[in-house]
Every structure is written in C-alpha cells, then in structure tokens.
Amino acid sequence: MSDVSFVRTEMLPEQAPPASEVGALGWIKHNLFSSWLNSILTIISLYAVYYVLSGILPWTFQSVWNADSLNQCREIMLENWGSTHGHACWAVINDRWLQLLFGFYPSHLYWRPILALILLLVALAPVLYSDRVPTKMLIFSAIYPFLMVWLMWGGTIWGPISAALGFVVGWGVYTIVSKQLSGLFGIILGVLASVIWWLFISSYFTSAMASIIPIGMEAVESRQFGGFMLAVLLGVVAIGVSLPIGIVLALGRQSDLLIVKYLCVGFIEFIRGVPLITLLFVASLLLNLFLPPGTNFDIILRVMIMMTLFSAAYMAEVIRGGLAALPRGQYEGADSLGLNYWQAQRLIIMPQALKISIPGIVSTFIGIFKDTTLVSIIGLFDVIGLASAIRADTAWNGIYWELFAFIAALFFVVCFSMSRYSMYLERKLQTGHR
C-alpha cells in the first residue's frame, strides 16, 4: 500500500466572504447579537430608544412656530390636532431668540458681537490647528483679546491699546533685566512694571491720546450684556486665562521655594474648598467694600476674575496630575542635556504633562463654561435669567420646556465641539502603543 501525496499547483480563485460576516450585517451580528445576553440587551435598548423618540419627535415637529402668546399657541394646537398635549410651542423661540442670544445689547449693534465671534474662530485657528494654519496668524491671536474688548464694549480704542502696552512694558523690562540679573528677578520686575503702568499711567495715556486722536465706537454698558453672548464671553475669558495661570500654580505647588509653594497650595485649596456661587457673591456684593470710594469696578470684569481664578485652581490640580504621571527619567534626561529649569519645562516636561492631562483639562473647560449660568443668581441676565424673565411675561407665562430645550441645544453644541476637539487632539498626539 503506497501513499500518494497531492500538491496543488494552482491557486483557487478568491471568494467573497459570507454576507453575514461583513458590512452592516456583520457589524450588527458581532456587536449587537453576538450572544443571547447581548441580544436581550439590544432589544431592550431599542425599545427604550423607540419609547423616548416616540414622545420627543411628535412633540418637536407637531408644533406651533407662529404665535404671539402661549394662549394663541394652544388655540392653534386645538384647531390642528384637537389637543394641547404632546405639541411644542416653538413660537416663544421664534419671538425671543434674538433676546436669548444677545440679551439687552442694542439691536443696531448686533454686528459687533457677531464679528467678535467670527474673529474668535480666526484667532483660535492657529492655536488649535497649528499644523494646518500659518504660525504668523499667532500675531492676530495675541491682538484679538484687546480687539474683542473694544468690539464688545466700544468707547475709545486707546483703552485696549493702553492695556496692551502694559504687557509690552513688562516684556521690555523683563528682557533688559534678565540679561543683567537672574530670570526670576526679571519676571518680578516685569510684572511690577506692568502693574504700575495699568494702575498709574494707563488712564493718563488713554485720556491724552483720546483727546489728540479721537477714535472710538458707541459705548455699551455691561448691564446691557446678556443671553448666550454673555455665557460665551465669560467662558472664553475664563478658559483662555485659567490655563496659563493653572500651569504657573501647578509648577509653584511643586517648587522648592517654601514661600512660593505654600502660597500656591493655600490659594488652590481655598478656591477648591469654596463654592463658585460664593465667589460670585463676593465679586458682586463684597468686593466694592474693599475698594476706594468712588471706584467703578465693572461687574462683568469682577465676575470674569472670580471665574478665572476658580477655574485656574482646578486646572492646577489637573496639570499637577499630569506632572506626577511623568517618569523620573524625563527630568533626569533634561538635566543630562544641560537644560535649566524653564528650558526643561518648556521643551520636555510641560508638553508631555499637558498631553497626559488633555481629558481633565477639557472637562474643566466644559465645567466652567456650563457654570456661567450661575451668574443669573447675582443679577446678570444670562440665557437662564432671560428665560425666567420671558416666562414672567403674561404672554408666555406657563411655558417651560421649549425655552430650556433651546438653551440646552446651545450649550450642547459648544460643549460637544470641545469634547470632539479633545478626542481629535488625543489621536493627533498619540505616540505610544494602544
């Protein structure tokens, strides 16, 4: 008896995979019905989704968009559907959407906050997408904060220019002093020079230049700010300023200088131990008691300062977690290259710590943006405060869900955008193995 081996001399033609293993059917099979438990959970989930959507979709689309009051909305509902239950009255949004967005900002000046928002996106482009946008646009990003203040508040253009010159003076003093003495001493003198400029020289410079070259726009009082515009304004300032302050506080908390360390620790622990609403009450009611008589400290500026400090304390702890996650070898590698403290932080330590901290940083950003709604408690008419004022109107008294659904949609768009950018940035900076 002999074995006859057979070796194939030609390849068989390729065949398509089974339809149940690829495409939509394959995805459903492997992800939704891979086992009996998953199948049961999928069916329960589909029923829950159907139950929710069966109530939300008719309420959303079988609705009234044109009416002058809630009573007129109900009359139209009765005429069309024979019931007022299960139908939305979006007419309140159609009637008051501009007020919900801009508050009491003068209607003939709406172009100014709209332009400020467009320029904000332009200023953020080189920061968020540095690999796709020319780095020269960072010059506009540095100019934008002062331009935004002028667009929103109006008045003479020399006020923002004077504020910007304070940073120029501080940088000039730092550059000169750091060449002669230590960098730390240069930083201290630079900050001191900027403060002296803003407190004692800036007002005289602004008045003199405004009398010589009167360039300005119609001024708008802070009390006229409101709506979603106010939430965006407070959120952008708190987010943009709290990150660098949080970095400084995180580094100060790890400093070997005891005074610096304990000052940073005391500030962080105090701010984190106090509710934000308490700080807002301090900004609104108590802060003026500690200022010289006759001092006019803008209410929105006070709120911005408190929200920024509150966010910076939480940001410091998030960044400190990123610093603690770095292995000791990174610090030793920086020392072996002969880098000083600030060079090591700028080139090696801080970029890695910030990459590790991206989820926590964005979560803090989203949290502080949503916390802007707390300003309604201290008398500022943000979008929540305006919703209450609209419901107090006799024409719309009794309407709830439509206003809050519109407000929720506005906040969701902004917060979801920040979340998606965070995921994009994590994928872009991913260097390790999954």
pLDDT tens by residue, 80-132: 888 888 889 999 999 999 999 999 999 999 999 999 999 999 999 888 887 77
Cα distances (Å, whole numbers) of residue 56 to 51, 59, 179, 240: 9, 5, 66, 37
Burial (CB count within 10 angstroms: exposed 0-12, middle 13-18, buried 19+), residue 313? buried
User: Would residue 118 count as lying in a domain?
Assistant: no
User: Would residue 404 count as lying in a domain?
Assistant: yes
Backbone angles phi, psi at 4, to 5 degrees: -115, 110
| Residues 280 and 177 placed together within one structural domain of the fold | no
User: Would residue 341 count as lying in a domain?
Assistant: yes
Query: Which of 185, 200, 217 marks a domain boundary?
Result: 217
Pairing of strands 216-217, 155-156: antiparallel
Residue 97 lies in domain: 92-105+224-428
Between CA 403 and CA 101 the distance in angstroms is 12
pLDDT tens by residue, 249-304: 999 988 888 888 999 999 999 999 999 998 888 888 777 676 666 667 788 988 99
- The DSSP secondary structure of 10-44, one letter per residue, reads SPPPP-PPPTTTSHHHHHHHHHTSSSHHHHHHHHH
| Residues 354 and 394 placed together within one structural domain of the fold | yes
| Residues 184 and 63 placed together within one structural domain of the fold | no
User: Would residue 147 count as lying in a domain?
Assistant: no
Query: Which of 166, 190, 217 marks a domain boundary?
Result: 217
Sequence letter at residue 259: I
Residue 1: what pLDDT? 52
Please state, as a whole number, how many other Cβ atoms lie within 10 Å of the Cβ of residue 272.
Answer: 12
User: Would residue 142 count as lying in a domain?
Assistant: no
Can you tell me the mean pLDDT for 156-172?
92
- Indicate the pTM of the whole model: 0.86
Query: Which of 186, 217, 248 marks a domain boundary?
Result: 217
| Residues 188 and 263 placed together within one structural domain of the fold | no
Confidence of residue 314 (pLDDT cuts 50, 70, 90): very high
pLDDT tens by residue, 356-389: 888 999 999 999 999 999 998 888 888 999 998 9
| Residues 310 and 342 placed together within one structural domain of the fold | yes
For 80, the 3-state DSSP assignment is helix
| Residues 66 and 193 placed together within one structural domain of the fold | no
User: Would residue 213 count as lying in a domain?
Assistant: yes
| Residues 228 and 206 placed together within one structural domain of the fold | no
| Residues 212 and 100 placed together within one structural domain of the fold | no
| Residues 170 and 245 placed together within one structural domain of the fold | no
Between CA 90 and CA 61 the distance in angstroms is 10
Query: Number of structural domains, the chain?
Result: 3
| Residues 354 and 378 placed together within one structural domain of the fold | yes
Residue 183: what pLDDT? 64
Can you tell me the mean pLDDT for 181-188?
73
Domain harbouring 342, CATH code: 1.10.3720.10
Q: Over 60: is that where the pLDDT of 2 sits? A: no
| Residues 288 and 176 placed together within one structural domain of the fold | no
Torsion of CA 138, 139, 145, 149, to 10 degrees: -140
| Residues 269 and 398 placed together within one structural domain of the fold | yes
User: Would residue 120 count as lying in a domain?
Assistant: no
Q: Over 90: is that where the pLDDT of 425 sits? A: no
User: Would residue 419 count as lying in a domain?
Assistant: yes
